[in-house]
Structure 1
């Protein structure tokens, strides 16, 4: 999957600025917090028992979907929206598969953003 399919670069340029603008360090710190929070939420969702904790999975997916959308991680947000929206009818295997894809896209998206914005490399690992 290409970077343009993973990430809404226009959204990120509003956060970090255009290529010719000075890099916003405050936004870089927010990005780091997003990564840390995202990893923690993915772990919590992954560790939740399905179907017993459907509501928890839906709520955590919703929270992470919003953050992912804010940072332009479109494919991550789409997969989490699928989990959240379909939690009442979704099968366990589909939750697992969607979650695994979302986690992989999360990592790929981080790598793509760090490649485009090198100052993030020191804080996003």
Structure 2
């Protein structure tokens, strides 16, 4: 998988199955919870204080990185890993750039997945 891959479709097929398989409604519910939690986590990251709340920013980055990886949101996970792994040396500008990349990729990934898996549209 290249660094620019938005979604790990193989990971999603492990969760949702292939297109010709019956769709698992429990997994759809988990996906919707992931999206809602992810939006909240991104808001927390944007609202956190870079100067005084780095531990919290690392925890939120770690949490969303893991769940993003589980749902195949590869580009989101990569941007958040940069924050988590490098918080001690990141400049504010680099933090904001990685966060912006994660947020943009999160929304783009959500749209792509719901376009492919019509059962997720509701």
Residues 1-125 of structure 1 aligned to structure 2 (within 5 Å): 5-122=5-122
Q: Deviations over 1:43-97 (max 9, x none)?
A: 0010001121011100100000000000000000000000000000000011111
TM-score w.r.t. structure 2 length? 0.95
Aligned residues: 119
Partners of 2:95 and 2:73 lie apart in 1 by 19
Partners of 1:19 and 1:97 lie apart in 2 by 35
SS of the residue corresponding to residue 23 of structure 1 reads coil
Q: Deviations over 1:16-41 (max 9, x none)?
A: 01111101100000000000000000
Partners of 2:24 and 2:119 lie apart in 1 by 10
Runs of 4+ in structure 1 over 2 Å off: none
Q: Report how far residue 9 of structure 1 moved.
A: 0.3
**Which runs of 5 or more structure 1 residues have no equivalent in the other structure?**
none
Q: Could you say what the CA RMSD is over the residues aligned between the two structures, in angstroms?
A: 0.9
